[in-house]
Structure 1
Amino acid sequence: MLKKLLSLSAGVLLTLSVYAATQWAGGAPNRYVVKKGDTLWDISAKFLAKPWHWPEIWQLNPQVRNPHLIYPGDELVISGNGVTHGEGSFGPHARATSLEDAVKPIPLSLIKQYLKNARVVGENELNGAPHVVAIEENRLRGASGQLVYIRGLDAAVGDKFAVVRPSGRYYDMPPKDEGQTREVYRQPRDGRDGRASLLWRHGPHEWSFQGRVRFLGYEVLEFGTIQVTRSGDPASALVTDSEFEVKEGDYVLPLDPKPYDDQFVPHPPASAPDNMRVIAFTDALNAVGAYQVVALSRGSADGVDNGTTYSIYTDGEVVHDDTDYPKGKMRAFLNPRDSKVKLPPEFIGHVMVFRTFERVSYALVMDSVRPVHRGDFAHDPDSTP
C-alpha cells in the first residue's frame, strides 16, 4: 500500500511540476486535430510559448502512448487551466496509415541531404581508410556499373561499402587574447591542393603560436555504394549506384546501417556546452535564415543529442563612449579601458539539432528575427546570456 501511495504521489508531483513549468501560447486551443504536414515543433508552437518544451504536452496528454507515433487526424486534448482527460483518438485502435505517415519532429524533406549523404568522421577513421586507386580501362571517372580498384580494403566478395569524398574539416584554435574563447573554423577542401593537403597530418594548422590546434572532424559527402567482386590488395568492386562519378582518391567507408534518427522530440538542453558556435552553413555565402542548416561546434561528446533546441545569439560589439570619453581628449587617452563599452549579446533565433557526431552537430534554424552568421553562439533557450 505504501509503495502505491508513493508511486501515486510521485505521479501527481510530476504532473504538477510539468504544468507549473508550462507557459501557454497566446490563444492556445483546448483541442487540436493533427493535420497532414504538421511537425512536433509546429504542434507545440500552437500550445506553448516555448515550442522546445514538447515533453510537457506529452506529459499532459495521458492518451499519448508514444510521442513519436502521432498521426494526422489524432486529437490532442489540452486545457490552459489544467489537464483535460477527453476522448481523443489515441489508444488501442486499428490504423489504416503506416508508421511512415507519423508526424515528424521537423520537416525531414528540408534536411534529407544531411541525414543520408553527409557525415563527420574522426581523424583516424579517414586517414587510414581504403581509397580508390584506379578505374577500369584507365578511365578518369567511374559511374554505376563500372569496376573500381580499392587499395587497403580488407573485405570478402559481396560486401558492400559507401564511397565518400571529403568536403572540409573542422578545427578550433586557441584564442588570440587570454581569457577569450577558442575560435572555431571550417576549412573547405581546396581542389587544387588534392587529397594529401586535406589530411590533418599534412595540414597547415596543427600548431599555432597561441598553442595547440584541436581537430574536430572531417566532413564527408557519401555519394555512392560499391560491392566487392574480388578480394585482395587492390580489391575489385562494382559501383552499384552513384550520384556522381567516382574518381581516384575517393575513400571507402563502411555503410551506416542507420544513417539518421527521426525518433526524437524537441527538448531543452540538459546544459548548454561552453562556447558552442555556428561554424558552417550551406546555400548561402554570409548568413542563413529559417529552415536552413547550420553546423555547430559541439557534439555527442559534449552532451548534445537529437532534438535539443538552443537559442542563437550574436556577440555584442565593443563601442567607444564618446559622451564621457570624447575621442582625442586626455580623459579618453588616460582611460582606454573605461572608454570602451561591451554591448550585450543580441538574440537571433532558435535551432534544433537533428544529427550529432562526436565533436560536431547539424541543426536546423527553426525561427529567426535576423540572419544567422558564422561565429554566433548557442545558449540555453530558457535563459539569457
Structure 2
Amino acid sequence: MDAPMKRLILVALMSVTSSFAMADTLTLKPGHPDTYIVEKGDTLWDISGKFLSDPWRWPKLWNANPQIANPHLIYPGDRLTLVFIDGQPRLVVKPQVRKSPEGRVLPKGGAIPAVSLELIQPYLSQNRVVDPEWFASQPKVLGGESPSRFHVEDDIIYVQAQLPKGMKVAAYDVGRSFIDKTTNESLGQEVILTASGRVVESGDISKVKLETSLRETHPGNRVLQIEDESLLSAYFMPKAADVADAYVIGSEKDIREAGKLDVVYISKGKADGVEAGDVFAIHRDGDTVVINEDGTPVSTVDRNAYGDLMAKFGSDNAIQLPDVYHGNLMVFKVFDKVSMGLIMVNDRPVRADDKLSVPSATEIKGE
C-alpha cells in the first residue's frame, strides 16, 4: 500500500472516530442546575429536561456511575449532583437516609416513573390493539341476568365459553381498524375496555360478575382474560427511537388534532423493534411552492386551481419546502404492529399522517 493511500485511510478513520465522538457527547441544557433534590411528582423526563438538551440521552448521564444501578432507585428526597468524569457530565445521587440502621428512606409512592402515571395509567390497562380475526374468535357476551340491554358494575353477564371459575376477565368493544396507508395491510383492531370482572360460575355459558365498569357492556362485546402483560410498567427510560417510516395513525380520543400530553397511536410496534421509552420527532410535509411565470413564489394559501394541480402532480415550477417540526412523543405502550405514545412537546398541532423520525438534539426539548 503506497503512502498516499495510507494517508487517505488514516484521514477517513479519524473522521469516522470524530463523528462517533460527537454523536456520543452529551449536551447540557443552558442554565442547568448543579444539584437538584428530587420532589414528589417528578418524572424522569422532567428531571432529564433540567440537565440535558436531549433528554432521551438520560441513560448516558448515569453511565459508569456505581452509585446508581438504575433509575428505578431515584426517590423523592434524593439529591442529584452534576459532576464530570473523564470530561463527560454524570449525575451522582445522595440518597435520603435516617441515622438509624434502617438505612434509606423509601417513600410510599416508590421510585419516580418516566412520565406522569396519572397521564398514562388508564391506557396501560384499558386500550389494546389486537389482530382482528383473533378478536372476532374470542368469547362473546350473550346478555345478562338483568333484562336491560346494557350492563354495568355488579351485574351478572353471560359469556359464551367455558371459563374457569375465579378467572379475571375484561369485556371489550370494537373501536377503529388501523390500516397501513402504504401497504393497505391491517395494523390491528382497536378494542376498548368496557368492564372487568370475575367468573363466578363455569359452564358452556359462564357467568361473570362485573366488578368495574368504564362504559356500558352489551351483547356482542368480546371477553378476554386479564393478563399481567396488559398492566405494563411505567418505569422505563426515554431514548431516541431507531425505527424508520413511522407515522401517526390518529389520536386516542379520535379527534382531528392532538396537543401536549395527548395520547396518539403510531404505525409501528413490537414487530418493528419499537420499545417503551422510544422518543420520536414529529414532522409534517412542508408546503409546495409554485413559481409563477414572473418568478414569484406562490404558497398554497395564495395559488389558484392551476397552481394546485402543478403542486400536486409535479412540475419544474413546483418546489417542495422542508418538513416542518411539530413536536415529539414518547412511546409508553407497544402492541404487535402499533404503539401508543404520549406527546411530550408540541410546537404545532399533531394530526394523523404526521411523520415520525429519529429525534435530533435541536428538536427534542425537556420542557
TM-score, structure 1 length as denominator? 0.76
Shift of 1:222: 1.6
Asked if the contact 2:248–2:265 (Cα under 8 Å) also holds between the matched residues in 1, the reply is: yes
Contact 2:281–2:328 (8 Å) recurs in 1? yes
Distance in 2, Cα, partners of 1:85 & 1:106: 19
The CA deviation string for residues 101-121 of structure 1, in whole angstroms up to 9 with x for no partner, is 311101121122211211111
Superposed, 1:186-335 pairs within 5 Å as 213-258=184-229, 259-269=231-241, 271-274=242-245, 276-283=246-253, 285-322=255-292, 323-324=294-295
Equivalent-residue separation in structure 1 for 2:289 and 2:163 (angstroms)? 61
What per-residue deviation string (whole Å, max 9, x for no partner) do you get for residues 137-160 of structure 1?
A: 533122233221111x23222222
Matched-pair contact (CA < 8 Å) for 2:76–2:107? no
Secondary structure of 1:79's counterpart equals strand
2:179 aligned to 171, 178, 188, which one? 171
Unpaired segments of 5 or more residues in structure 1? 1-15, 174-181, 183-211
Once the two structures are superposed, what CA deviation does each residue of 1:54-75 show, in whole Å capped at 9, x if it has no partner? 1111116431122122111112
Q: Secondary structure at the match of 2:71?
A: coil
Q: Match of 2:72, SS?
A: coil
Deviation at 1:348, TM superposition (A): 1.0
TM-fit CA distance, 1:304: 0.5
Aligned to 2:116: 107
Distance 1:293 1:376 in 2: 14
- Amino acid in the other structure paired with 2:279: T
Matching residue of 1:358: 336
Residue from 276, 300, 321 that aligns with 1:343: 321
Matched residue, 1:94? 103
State the 1:18 CA deviation.
Answer: 9.7
User: Which amino acid in the other structure matches residue 34 of structure 1?
Assistant: V
Residue 283 of structure 1 and its aligned partner are, at CA, apart by: 4.9
* Residue pair 2:36, 2:81 contacting (<8 A) in 1 also: yes
Aligned counterparts of 2:148 and 2:24: Cα–Cα separation in 1: 67
Say yes or no: does 1:380 pair with 2:351: no
SS class of match (1:100): coil
1:269-292 C-alpha deviation (Å, 9 max, x unpaired):
2x2232x11111145732122111
Aligned CA distance change for structure 1 residues 20 and 99 (closer, same or farther; 3 Å): farther
- Residue 47 of structure 2 aligns with which residue? 43
Letter of the 2:49 partner, please give it. A
Residue 75 of structure 1 is matched in structure 2 by 79
Deviation, 1:353, is 0.4
The alpha carbon displacement at 1:20 in A equals 4.9
- The question of 1:132 aligning with 2:141 is answered yes
Q: Deviations over 1:65-95 (max 9, x none)?
A: 2212211111222136545786722899723
- Describe the shift of the 1:265–1:150 C-alpha distance in structure 2 as closer, same or farther (beyond 3 A): same
Query: Tell me, which stretches of 5 or more residues in structure 2 are unaligned?
Result: 1-19, 298-303
Distance 2:59 2:321 in 1: 35
Q: Cα 1:20–1:301, aligned 2, differ >3 Å: closer, same or farther?
A: closer
SS of residue matched to 1:56:
helix
Secondary structure, aligned partner of 1:72:
coil
User: By how many angstroms is 1:264 displaced?
Assistant: 0.5
**Deviation at 1:27?**
1.5
| Aligned-pair CA distance for 1:231 | 2.7
Structure 1 residue 223 displacement after superposition: 2.7
Residue-pair matches, total: 327
Q: Indicate if the aligned counterparts of 1:19 and 1:82 stay in contact, CA closer than 8 A.
A: no
Residues 49 and 384 of structure 1: is their aligned pair in 2 closer, same or farther, counting only changes over 3 Å? Answer: closer
1:31 lines up with 2:1 in the alignment: no
Matches within 5 A, 1:6-21: 20-21=24-25
Q: 1:251, CA displacement in angstroms?
A: 0.8
Q: Is the 8 A contact 1:160 1:225 kept in 2?
A: yes
Task: Return the alpha-carbon distance in structure 1 between the equivalents of residues 53 and 116 of structure 2.
Answer: 20
> 1:162-187 CA deviation, whole Å, 9 max, x = no partner?
111122111124xxxxxxxx1xxxxx
Letter in 2 for 1:227: R
Aligned-residue RMSD, C-alpha:
3.1
Cα distance in 1 for residues equivalent to 2:236 and 2:341: 13
C-alpha distance in 2 between matches for 1:93 and 1:17 = 44
Q: Is 1:116 aligned to residue 87 of structure 2?
A: no
Instruction: Give the whole-Å Cα distance in 2 for the aligned partners of 1:291 and 1:355.
Output: 15
Residue aligned with 2:179, SS: strand
Rounded to whole Å, the distance in 1 between the matches of 2:192 and 2:314 is 49
